[in-house]
Structure 1
Amino acid sequence: MGGSTQQGSQGGGSKFADDTLRPVTIKQLVESDEPYPGAGLAVDGIPVTQVTLIGQVRSVKPQATNVTYQIDDGTGVIDVKKWVDAERADSGATAQFAPDTYVRVFGRLTQFSGKKHVGAHFIRTIEDFNEVNYHLLDATYVHLYLTKGAAGGGGGGGGGVGGDAAGDGMFVDGGNGAARQSAGGPARLKMCGRNAQSLFAYMQRMAAGDEGCNIHAISQGMGMSTRDVMAAADELLGHGMIYTTLDDETWAVLDY
């Protein structure tokens, strides 16, 4: 006890006090980075400690010391490692979750050899699918609070974040429709390169409906190489301006 008190007086206690549990999407975790060397991984510029996420098990890889689950929440995919407790192995505490099962994960984001994964403290099955929607709303609220400030606060500290601050950057295709409309597509389009802006304007003129436009038709119609079209489409996808439809080479414009 004496050693613990001394450690706390040297700053260990305050670091523990800053340990928080944050709801996140997998895309946020995959795109997290270090603000500066040694700072630890951060989401929205704020260091992440404990995180909780919800997703679907895609694969299970049992090993001697841990079980690795590949989890997909629709925004991205990440490995979740649950370490095996040898003393509790016979108690069912290390029971595995079957593929396609929806689970909630509580753990800590870790990076090893440049690859991020979540070290899980606890994993449980989702019994009510409404919890998936609740989690996404919760993650969106926290993201908005940290990037734009409290509701009614006049924009808070995140006024300069741009369209991504409206929650779009948390999802592959822009996520919440209301957030997309309030963020304003034209503002994000100005952040794109010249080819991406031309591609977006061309797809709007084509008005191909829900099926969208294929890369080869776009390349022929715009007189651009397929490589340039693909690069422009990736940029628009990253900003939540378009989404894939029939396959990875067919896109449609999001309706703002």
Structure 2
Amino acid sequence: MSQMGETYYGGGGYLSQGGNQSPGFGGSPGGKNRSDASHALRPLTINQIKQASQAHSDAEWVLDGHEIGQIVLIGTVMAVKRQTTNVSYSIADGTSKIEARQWIDSSMAEAEGVGNDDALMHQYVCVHGSLKMFGSQRYINATNVRKATPYQFYHWLLETMVIKLTLERGPPPRPGQAPQSRPPGIGGNASSAYAAQSAPQQTQSGMVQFAKCSPLQKKIAHYLLNQSSDDGTHVSLIAQHVGGDPMEISAALEGLLEDGHVYTTVDDEHFLISR
């Protein structure tokens, strides 16, 4: 992480904190059984923020299969609305627009310069906070809003790209290190082709124990049998793949859990199949 990155991250970024693997900046007060991702600070564009999803209102936000905790956004302030208890900023970053709300603590407002609206209008700002939903509108619950520079904006934008690609493809090889092998089914080597062909047979044999389960439970089990993460699969990904009523999916998972077919891993929202 460069010196510029440390300037707006407050010491190291998402990958240096380990992403989903190790604790980092900030935290989620009041949460329980949350993974370490809820403590990591990840740079996201507004478009990425709007692609994130929740399995239910109390669940962690998830983007591309990875949980989102604290986020950092750099954009231009398009409008400001000051109220008694908070300041609302309309922020654009070139991908979309979103509202960031910073709550005013009267004992700290003067010291921190909260609500210095005129100085931030049409300027780049760096926003630290977490993603929230009110009604049908998502917004950033900002813990810190401060002026940023164009250089910081472009560094942040590049950082969002690097992290997205690293999470999708793995880190690039170090000097002298051989490239990582591709996932099964991507590439032309024999071992990948064999793994891709044998996976359906393994899945079919593993479904025997679910013969007495409901069709929805079988669908969930079939999906989980094809997942390889040791940390389990988040319930939002299961719901996204299976489709249907979230309440029915939740009940089906609960039934599988009670019958011992699945078990939870890093928290109550990640599931692994019992083999």
TM-score range normalised by the length of the shorter chain: 0.5 to 0.7
Offset of 1:87 from its aligned partner? 1.2
Q: How does 1:24-43 map to 2 (within 5 A)?
A: 24-35=44-55, 38-43=58-63
Residue 13 of structure 1 deviates from its aligned partner by: 7.8
* CA separation of 1:99 and 1:19: change in aligned 2, threshold 3 A: same
**Cα distance change on mapping 1:116 and 1:159 into 2, 3 Å:** farther
CA contact (8 A) 1:149 1:155 kept: no
- What is the distance in 2 between the residues matched to 1:90 and 1:73? 28
Q: Which residue of 2 aligns with 1:163?
A: none
Match 2:132 to one of 110, 114, 120: 110
Per-residue deviation, 1:54: 0.5
Q: Which 4+ residue blocks in structure 1 deviate beyond 6 angstroms?
A: 157-160
* CA distance in 2 between partners of 1:21 and 1:14 (Å): 15
Count of residue pairs the alignment pairs up: 149
- Maintained 8 Å contact 2:48/2:63: yes
> Which amino acid letter does the alignment assign opposite residue 146 of structure 2?
R
Structure 2 counterpart of 1:144: 165
Cα distance in 2, alignment partners of residues 114 and 78 from structure 1: 13
CA distance in 2 between partners of 1:89 and 1:81 (Å): 14
Residue of structure 1 aligned with 2:141, choices 102, 119, 135 = 119
Aligned-CA RMSD value:
2.8
Pair 107,92 (structure 1): closer, same or farther in 2 beyond 3 Å: closer
User: Shift of residue 57 of structure 1?
Assistant: 0.2
Give the share of equivalent positions with the same residue, in percent: 31
In structure 1, C-alpha distance between the alignment counterparts of 2:75 and 2:185, rounded to whole Å = 28
Asked whether the equivalents of residues 107 and 118 of structure 1 are also in contact (C-alpha less than 8 Å), the reply is yes
Preserved contact between residue 132 and residue 140 of structure 2 (Cα < 8 Å): yes
Structure 1 residue 43: deviation in Å? Answer: 1.5
Please give the alpha-carbon distance, in whole angstroms, between the structure 1 residues aligned to 2:168 and 2:95: 19
Cα distance change on mapping 1:145 and 1:91 into 2, 3 Å: same
Q: Which residue of 1 aligns with 2:180?
A: 153
| 3-state SS of paired residue (2:108) | helix
Q: Which has the higher helix share?
A: 1
The C-alpha deviation readout for 1:206-251, integer Å capped at 9, x for no partner, is xxxxxxxxxxxxxxxxxxxxxxxxxxxxxxxxxxxxxxxxxxxxxx
- In 1, Cα distance between the equivalents of 2:34 and 2:98? 30
Mapped to 2, the partners of 1:115 and 1:149 lie a distance apart of: 33
Distance 1:43 1:17 in 2: 12
Matching residue's letter, 2:42: R
Query: 1:41 Cα deviation (Å)?
Result: 1.6
The residue identity in structure 1 corresponding to 2:44 is V
In the aligned structure 2, how far is the partner of 1:28 from the partner of 1:38? Answer: 20
Give unpaired runs (5+ residues) of structure 1: 1-10, 161-256
What does 1:38-57 align with in structure 2 at a 5 Å threshold?
Answer: 38-57=58-77
Unaligned runs of 5+ in 2: 1-30, 173-178, 188-275
- Alpha-carbon offset, residue 123 of structure 1: 1.2
